[in-house]
Chains A and B, each alone.
Chain A
Amino acid sequence: MTEPILEITNLSISFFVRAGEIPAVMDFSCKVMPGEAMGLVGESGCGKSTVALGVMRDLSNRGKITAGSIKFKGRELTSMSEKDLRKIRGSEIAMVYQEPMASLNPAMRVGRQLMEVPILHENTSVEEAYDRALEMMELVRLPDPERMMDSYPHQLSGGQQQRIVIAMALLSKPALLLMDEPTTALDVTVEAGIVDLVKELGSRFGTSMLFISHNLGLILETCDRITVMYSGEAVETGSVNDVFEQMRHPYTQGLFRSIPLPGADKYSHPLVAIPGQLPLPHERPAGCNFGPRCAFFEAGKCDIGEIHMQDAGVGEFHFSRCERVAEIDWDAPPTHDGIIEPTVPGEVILTVNGLKKYYEVAANKMFGGGESRVVKANEEITFNAREAETVAIVGESGCGKSTLAKILLGLETATEGTVSLGNLEIGSTDIGDRDTGTISSIQMVFQNPFDTLNPSHAVGAQIVRTLERFGIGNTPDEREERMLELLDLVKLPREFAKRMPRQLSGGQKQRIGVARAFAGAPKVVVADEPVSALDVSVQAAVTELLMDIQRASRTTMLFISHDLSVVRYIADRVVVMYLGHIVEQGTTEDVFSPPYHPYTEALLSAIPIADTKVVKKHIVLDGDIPSAMNPPSGCPFQTRCQHKNAVPGNICETDLPPTRTLAGGHQIKCHLADDILDRMEPVVALG
């Protein structure tokens, strides 16, 4: 049997702070064989990044390895001297972090940064280092590598930066590559390209990988084996197929049930959220850490002593940290509260017609001179939304979805076109000119839970202030009472009114954000990626809450997102945007089945789906999203389109495609001929 590249046994890492010792990782074991990719999955604060930093022995001065061993190629890392470690770091073990901009030195040309690796670790000559750097730039598929060697990091896009970081990591041909959420900061279509690259390079160089992610779908696409972590412990480990198909830990099962997989339906198969929240490191329960949130919890068994990893009973090297692994019926379907009646949409509430938003950006701000450039954030946006309907607006960064939200809310005014709320034109009215009724009838749920509440004011006071602005309640006492009712509505205890935002978890903050948006009985709520910054197990709960409130109040929801899995689950109709244009819109069913707009097709293919039964068509787009400052001529998508050669002539490059209406009001903005559209195959199929 071959020697493992990395062997971690019973590793414990603690951080020592003023409050005392905080265990971050406990009793963690895993093995990475040569050429194998091990996925480490878990929610924020579960210790997955600490494991990677522990392998690098880069735990700052507060963190210490308190027990266990880390063996790299048979050599013990925990007791290695700093000098020997330096030789290994960057040459035999390389690391890729989440933020590419933070990994690159902004004051150095990327070429020099790449060349440093062979010069430092292998004492090569400058010429050889240059050649090798150039070769690696080509391998990570960067366009025009020679010119790119001479650029500074800020001149590159996020995807290109991350490719540079990966190139740098691979330059010394490491035996082990640690990747800590390498694609989280990137757009989905760019992410798909990076994932593709990592997979290819991994098999090409035979590099072993430790791939850290919170995204189960991504792990399925990249890894051979998986370790699921919860609250500092590994709770389940095994081959990807075993764990995905025959999970043997309640937490893993809960995770899978709380993410929208194909087949989930908001009416008949709603998501099942894991109740409760991650325990704080110093408040972990006795026995099983997952005990208080577990449906299979049995007092006297799960809450005493230490729970150890044990054989899961199915699959090879499949272990689970569950005392009752042999007793639980793992195939029992989740229990539901019964089927929810589908909502019937009412009258049209919101109509957006020919909306355009241009920004003028002065080339030289200081003296006002120079030529000004126009950023076309929104071009010809036309759609409507009916009462109680959920309309998803899908697109990647820079597609203009946030600008659209700003216009709807009155933070910006439209350059051209109209937005009507009921019979009232609001597209050209700034928030300052809107009356209280209009303001309270269109509200927003923000993306970042850590930013949505003012850290200086108590939670209750912030809701009360909203009520005050909207003129709800005549006396302070009435508003106080209404505020407490809103807390009940979002299923938070009434005591939370007096808490400060920092005392709340991300999910709880987002609930307050929902309460605030629904405070004035709005007709339309714009939800800007309301769950994307939350942990997977909390996402489902907040999503369900949002839908419950929406259903009860028959509010129209505009759900802005880049995540098509959530969109497929939650939306009635979908609007797909690219570079300020609506490229496709229709009912969820229409948009998710062929014919597609080529962009939608690529987007669908790019979303990692955590289901082994799903067969996906493999489409990876070249390049990055063009800048809205300098959009391509003709069709906005023509620079990356995979079907461009199916259109005769260069019409894609010269003419903006017309919006074509297909059966059932399904609209596509594309030059492709009807027969090609008709022949399109579904991207995602259940195998």
Chain B
Amino acid sequence: MEYIGFFEIWGTVISQFWPVWLSLAVILSVSYHFRHSLSLYGRLFGSTIGMVGLVIVLFWILTAIFADWVAVFDPLEQFAMLKRKPPGAIDAETGKALLFGADNLGRDLFSRMVHGSRFVLIIAPAATMFAFIVGITIGLPAGYYGGKIDSIMSFLANLVLAFPVILLFYLLVTPGIRETPIPMAMAGFFFIFPILFFGVLFYSRYATRPGLLAIQLVCVLLVGGWLYSGLVFNADPLGIIALEPNELNIFASVVFVNSPTVFRIVRGITMDIKTRDYVAAAQTRGENAWYIMLWEILPNARGPLIVDACLRIGYTTILLGTLGFFGLGLAPESPDWGSMINQTRAFIRIVPTIALPPTLALAIFVLGLNLLADGLREQSLKD
């Protein structure tokens, strides 16, 4: 068996990432050039911590996008000869090296790690976004009206938060539950929120201009309906959006456990902002409650919400890793980071580096998100 040396491994790794470096350079230099007109994002360039976080997060986003070019092999391809080989082992057939070694089934760890970013980077931000929309849609009225609405909503949120998350996932992905209509009903319930949210958003603002409003509502219904049919019924007429029943399950569950926390943050901020004079000014000119919540209060809550979104994507990434580790809801061969750690951990004694690629990838990505959140918080406080 032939190997390549340490420096050659890293040299090849760095050169494999060439599309990532190239687009990173383009994005950063363009953003740096226009940083003065980019508000909060532009001001990130003044914070070292924020910059490090941004680069890490962008790195993984770009890796997910260019995964097919960055990866050396197919993530599912098994090399019978190369099982559990340490980093740098060369595949005799193609002459290419398995940069980070191979796992128990002889699959290239480097390529699996690169492809694993896709799963995380699709599910985590999307689920966080949905959780935010759900949390905002119920958090705003709870904070704005207070009283009974608030008591009921807060009670429900506490109920969800009190339930152990992992247990909840075990329940949701067990075949017995998976075959019932419960997951689809849950997804159906949560995914209706974005359509409601954007519908109310435009309606409250543009009700006085029916022409414009009609166009907006038609757009919301078309896009929303398309996404809804694709996500919930797996019946996308265009065939672009397709979710495995398992993935849908994970997706809906992540939204389910995240939205109560978002709800509480939004509720707290709303209670603070609703006492401001500009809210009173909006009330005295006869604005309806949803306009005030969505157009007067929400924009001013964006600072803490953006920071929380970054952190929450990080938590969700860890949660997805945990799910993968327990093998919950994902296909056994799926190259996600959590499953990879689980499948390799038994062989750490034989090949000490075998579990490192997915572990470090996960840790670095979450670290990047946390640093980015810190940088954003620091910069948003400076205003």
Residues from chain A with Cβ under 8 Å of B282 in the complex:
454
- Known A451-B276, A456-B299: A444·B284 in contact at CB below 8 Å: yes
Question: A516 at interface (Cβ–Cβ under 8 A)?
Answer: yes
- A152 interfacial contact with B, CB 8 Å: no
B-chain residues with CB within 8 Å of residue A431 when the two chains form the complex: 283-284, 286
| 497-518 of chain A: CB within 8 A of chain B | 502, 513, 516
Residues of A within 8 A of B383 (CB): 502
CB contact list, B175-224 vs A, under 8 A? 208-209
Assess the A444–B281 pair: CB atoms within 8 A.
yes
Given A451-B276, A452-B277, A502-B383, does the pair A436, B286 have CB atoms closer than 8 Å? yes
Tell me the minimal C-beta distance from B298 to chain A in angstroms.
Answer: 9
In the complex formed, the residue of B with least CB distance to A519 is: B285
* Bound-complex Cα distance A516 to B277 (A): 13
Whether B278 and A466, one on each chain, are in contact in the complex, defined by CB atoms closer than 8 angstroms, is no
Known contacts A454-B296, A454-B299, A456-B300: A439-B284 contact under CB 8 Å:
yes
| Contact assessment for A453 and B278 in the assembled complex, using a CB-CB cutoff below 8 Å | yes
B284 touches A411 (CB 8 A): yes
Interface size class of A (residues with CB under 8 A): 20 to 34
* Residue B68 interfacial (CB < 8 Å): no
In the complex, what distance in Å separates the CA atom of A455 from the CA atom of B276? Answer: 11
Q: Compute how far the CA of A454 lies from the CA of B276 in the bound complex, rounded to whole angstroms.
A: 9
Kindly identify which residue among B285, B296, B302 contacts A466, using a CB–CB cutoff of 8 Å. Answer: B285
Question: Is B280 on the interface with A (CB-CB < 8 A)?
Answer: yes
Please give, as numbers and ranges, the residues of chain B lying within 8 Å of A456 by CB-CB distance.
299-300, 302
Q: Does A403 contact B (CB under 8 A)?
A: no
Give the contacting residue for B281; candidates A410, A455, A471, A516; CB below 8 A.
A516
Kindly report which residue of chain B lies nearest to residue A443, judged by CB atoms.
B284
Residues A454 and B286 in contact, CB atoms below 8 Å apart: no
B46 within 8 A of A: yes
Question: Is A469 engaged at the interface, CB distance under 8 Å to the other chain?
Answer: yes
B208, B281, B295, B300, most chain A CB atoms within 10 A:
B281
| Residue A336 CB within 8 A of the other chain | no
Is A596 an interface residue when CB atoms closer than 8 A count as contact? no
Say yes or no: A468 contacts B278, CB within 8 Å. no
> Is B8 in the interface zone, CB < 8 Å from A?
no
- Taking a contact as CB atoms under 8 Å apart, the answer to whether B280 and A411 are in contact is yes
Q: Give the residues in chain A near B272, CB-CB below 8 Å.
A: none
Interface flag for B287 (CB, 8 Å) = yes
Q: How far apart sit A466 and B281, CA to CA, in the bound complex (Å)?
A: 10
What 1/0 flags go to B346-383 for Cβ under 8 Å of A?
00000000000000000000000000000000000001
Q: Would B277 and A451 count as touching, CB distance under 8 A?
A: yes
Chain B: CB-nearest residue to A453: B278
Q: Roughly how many angstroms separate A452 CA and B284 CA in the complex, as a whole number?
A: 12
Tell me the bound Cα distance from A455 to B303 in angstroms: 12
Min C-beta distance of A189 to chain B, whole Å: 26
Q: Does A446 contact B (CB under 8 A)?
A: yes
In the complex, the answer to whether A18 meets B46 with C-beta atoms within 8 Å is yes
Are B280 and A446 touching (Cβ within 8 A)?
yes
Q: Does A447 contact B (CB under 8 A)?
A: yes
Residues of A within 8 A of B299 (CB): 454, 456-457
Known: A457-B299, A502-B383. A469 touches B285 (CB 8 A): yes
Does A409 touch B at the CB level, under 8 Å? yes
B287 partner, pick from A410, A452, A469, beta carbons under 8 A: A469
B residues less than 8 Å from A457 (CB atoms): 295, 299
Q: Which residue of A lies closest to B147 (CB)?
A: A365
The complex places the Cα of A538 from the Cα of B284 at a distance, in Å, of 26
The verdict on A75 contacting chain B, using a C-beta distance below 8 Å, is: no
In whole angstroms, how far apart are the Cα atoms of A32 and B301 in the complex?
48
Within 8 A of B (CB), among A428-458: 431-432, 434, 436, 439-440, 443-444, 446-448, 451-457
Within the assembled complex, what's the spacing in Å between the Cα atoms of A521 and B280?
19
- Taking a contact as CB atoms under 8 Å apart, the answer to whether B277 and A448 are in contact is yes
Is A470 an interface residue, CB under 8 A from the partner?
yes
Q: Chain B interface: which size bin?
A: 20 to 34
Task: Pick from A434, A451, A471: contact of B278, CB below 8 A.
Answer: A451
- Minimum Cβ distance to chain A for residue B42 (Å): 14
CA–CA, A451 to B283, complex, Å?
A: 14
- Which residues on A sit within 8 Å (CB–CB) of B284? 409-411, 431, 439, 443-444
Bound CA–CA A440/B208 (angstroms)? 16
Closest CB in chain B relative to A518 CB, distance in Å = 12
Interfacial chain B residues near A447, Cβ < 8 Å: 277
Q: Is the CB of B286 within 8 A of A439?
A: yes
Which listed residue (A444, A455, A466) contacts B300, Cβ 8 A? A455
- Contact B286–A434 (Cβ < 8 Å): yes
Which of A434, A454, A502 has the most B CB atoms < 10 Å from its CB?
Answer: A454
Chain B residues contacting A444 (CB-CB under 8 Å) are: 280-281, 284
CA distance A434 to B288 in the complex (A): 12
A18 vs B296: C-alpha distance when bound (angstroms): 32
Residues of A contacting B281 in the complex (Cβ-Cβ under 8 angstroms):
444, 446, 452, 513, 516
How far, in angstroms, from A409 to B286 measured CA to CA in the complex? 10
Closest CB in chain B relative to A509 CB, distance in Å = 11
> What's the least CB distance linking B179 to chain A, in Å?
42
Residues of A381-434 contacting chain B, CB below 8 A: 409-411, 431-432, 434
Report how far A466 CA is from B288 CA in the complex, Å: 13
Beyond A451-B276, A452-B278, A454-B278, is A411–B300 a contact (Cβ under 8 Å)? no
- B285 and A439 form a contact (CB under 8 A): yes
Q: Which residue of B lies closest to A445 (CB)?
A: B281
Q: Given contacts A18-B46, A431-B283, A431-B286, is CB(A454)–CB(B208) below 8 Å?
A: no
Docked Cα-Cα span, A162 to B139, in Å, equals 39
Contacts of B277 in A (CB 8 A): 446-448, 451-452
Residues of chain B with a CB closer than 8 A to A436's CB: 286
Choose from B208, B295, B296, B300 the contact partner of A468 (Cβ within 8 Å).
Answer: B208
How near does chain B come to A538, taking the closest CB pair, in angstroms?
Answer: 18
Contacting residues, chain B, for A454 (C-beta < 8 A): 278, 282, 296, 299-300
The answer on a CB contact under 8 Å between B285 and A470 is yes
Query: For residue B207, which residue of chain A has the nearest CB?
Result: A468
B209-247 vs A, Cβ < 8 Å mask (1 yes, 0 no)? 100000000000000000000000000000000000000
Write the chain B residue with the least CB distance to A475.
Answer: B209
A444→B283 CA distance, assembly (Å)? 11
Chain B positions within 8 Å of A443 at CB level: 284-285
Docked Cα-Cα span, A447 to B277, in Å, equals: 8
Q: What's the minimum C-beta distance from B294 to chain A, rounded to whole angstroms?
A: 12
In the complex, chain B residues 265-294 whose Cβ is within 8 Å of any chain A Cβ: 276-278, 280-288
Distance from B6 Cβ to chain A, minimum over Cβ atoms (Å): 41
Report the minimal beta-carbon distance from A100 to chain B, rounded to whole angstroms.
Answer: 22
Residues on the A chain within 8 Å of B288, using CB: 432
Asked if B286 and A469 make an inter-chain contact with CB atoms under 8 angstroms apart, the answer reads yes
B276 contact set on A, CB distance < 8 A: 451
Considering the chains assembled together, what is the distance between the CA atoms of A446 and B299 in angstroms? 21
Residue in chain A with minimal CB distance to B284:
A409
> What B residues does A434 contact at CB under 8 A?
286
Contacts of B287 in A (CB 8 A): 469
Residues of B within 8 A of A18 (CB): 46
Q: In chain B, what residue has the closest Cβ to A409?
A: B284
> Which of B209, B278, B282, B296 has the largest count of A CB atoms less than 10 A from its CB?
B278
In chain B, what residue has the closest Cβ to A502?
B383
Kindly identify, within residues 116 to 161 of chain B, every residue whose CB is under 8 Å from any CB belonging to chain A. none
With both beta carbons as reference points, the residue of chain A lying nearest to B151 in the complex is identified as: A366
Query: Could you list 13 examples of A-B contacts with CB < 8 Å?
Result: A409-B284, A411-B280, A443-B284, A448-B277, A451-B278, A452-B281, A454-B282, A454-B296, A456-B299, A456-B302, A457-B295, A465-B285, A468-B208
B residues adjacent to A (C-beta < 8 A): 46, 208-209, 276-278, 280-288, 295-296, 299-300, 302, 383
Mark A residues whose CB is within 8 Å of B. 18, 409-411, 431-432, 434, 436, 439-440, 443-444, 446-448, 451-457, 465-466, 468-471, 476, 502, 513, 516
Of all A-B residue pairs in the complex, the 6 with the closest CB atoms, nearest first, are: A456-B299, A451-B277, A446-B277, A454-B278, A439-B286, A452-B277
Add 10 more A-B contacts to A434-B286, A471-B208 (CB < 8 A). A411-B284, A446-B280, A446-B281, A447-B277, A452-B277, A453-B278, A454-B278, A456-B299, A465-B285, A502-B383
